[in-house]
Amino acid sequence: MRANFNRFAVSKYLRYTWLMNIDEKYMRMCFALAKRGKGRVEPNPLVGCVILDKDGNVISKGYHKKYGKNHAEREALLKLKCNEAEGGTLYVNLEPCSHYGKTPPCVDLIIERKLTRVVIGMKDVNPVVDGITKLKNAGIKVDFVLEKEARFLNRIFIKNMTQKLPYVVLKTACTMDGKIATKTGDSKWITSNKSREEVYNIRKMFDCIMTSSNTVISDNPKMEHKFKCILDKDSRTEKNAQIYKQGNIYIASKENTPLKDNQLDLKAVLSYLYNRGIYTVFVECGGTLAGAMLKEGLIDEIYQFIAPKILNDNNGMSCFNGAQIDKIKDCKPLEIYEIKKIDTDILIKTCICNVFK
């Protein structure tokens, strides 16, 4: 009796893990499809969809290709004949929409095509979407898989939608002892040519780059980009500085920005940028501004380039400055998600841990 029970429990467990593995496999396929929309769907989320027939064969795939165009589920379902998906399973990395936007609700089409199971990566953070309830009310089984990965894929969308602020990535290039410049302000060059070329390419992936008056005055950088924001409370930067020679430029100063503790209110600047259609910001600055942004919880990710050099001078400038911390437990916790070797340097990409919450 006992042996029979165990056999039953084991086979149930094996079936469960087998199904989990299958679900993970197709959800990862959705992620890969979703990524194809990068650069064309924003500020919409990246979404991919895979459909299996009732026997478990892949019969259609789709992804959200362009802002305003069909959602991934509609894209995949419309490739099929009306009854082809009946009894099948639909995988999608974001909860299907239940409202009329630029396209009709995807849940209605899923219900109409008589799928029996929908596997979702993450619930939509858009409060108008409640596709899950509508699917369940129609008798469709709903399961979740790889939720953390699904949220990570659409972390920019989540930040934009929930906080109405751009997603902020801060870049810093430092020595192995965390210094970005000597005490005299000399910082050219800490990292290799290849690392700096990588920075030029990374900049292109953002809607805006942001820097400070101090960095403009000390380094006179070009920072070529279509849109730049310079924080310069007292308009101290020279108008013939290199940075002003190219691109659309927004200078945040005390004339157009509220102050907080006698400094520019950084959240107000980001909010202004968001309302002008800037959804991602790449910040390149020294330790003062980086520290202030970190303290205020305005940074979502840090790209840290580390060169195999040691300054060995406590008076050298640090990547982050400004907090008074006595205990290591009070450090800002980060999560590394990518490490890349670039010529002699390494690039570490980290997320502030709450990105996943």
Ligand X SMILES: NC(=O)c1ccc[n+]([C@@H]2O[C@H](COP(=O)([O-])OP(=O)(O)OC[C@H]3O[C@@H](n4cnc5c(N)ncnc54)[C@H](OP(=O)(O)O)[C@@H]3O)[C@@H](O)[C@H]2O)c1
Nearer to ligand X, 98 or 215 (CB): 215
CB environment 16-29: b (16+ within 10 A), e (fewer): eeeeeebbeebbbb
What is the DSSP-derived secondary structure letter of residue 181?
E
The answer to the question of residue 317 lying near ligand X (CB under 6 A) is: yes
| Catalytic residue list contains 73 | yes
The CA–CA distances, whole Å, from 302 to 80, 200, 298, 317, 353 equal: 43, 16, 11, 18, 11
Q: Does 195 bind ligand X (CB under 6 A)?
A: no
CA distance 253 to 342: 37
- Residue 181 touches ligand X, criterion: CB under 6 A: yes
Least distance between ligand X and beta carbon 282 (Å)? 12
What are the distances in angstroms from CA 69 to CA 42, 63, 127, 174? 12, 10, 21, 43
Q: Exactly one of 24, 42, 73, 86 is catalytic; which is it?
A: 73
φ and ψ at 249, to 5 degrees? -130, 135
SS3 277: coil
Q: How far is the CB of 264 from ligand X (least distance, A)?
A: 4
Q: Which residue is nearest to ligand X (CB)?
A: 286
β-strand partners of 336? 350
* Opening angle at CA 357, ends 334 and 327, nearest 5: 40
CB of 180 to ligand X, least distance (A): 3
Binding mask 138-177 for ligand X (x = CB under 6 A): ----------------------------------xx----
Q: Are 95 and 71 in contact (CB under 8 A)?
A: no
- Candidates 70, 154, 195, 213; binder of ligand X (CB under 6 A) is 213
The 104-143 contact track toward ligand X, x by CB under 6 A, reads ----------------------------------------
Interface with ligand X (CB under 6 A): 172-173, 180-181, 185, 187, 190, 212-215, 218-219, 231-234, 236, 263-264, 266, 284-290, 292, 317
**Which of the residues are catalytic?**
73
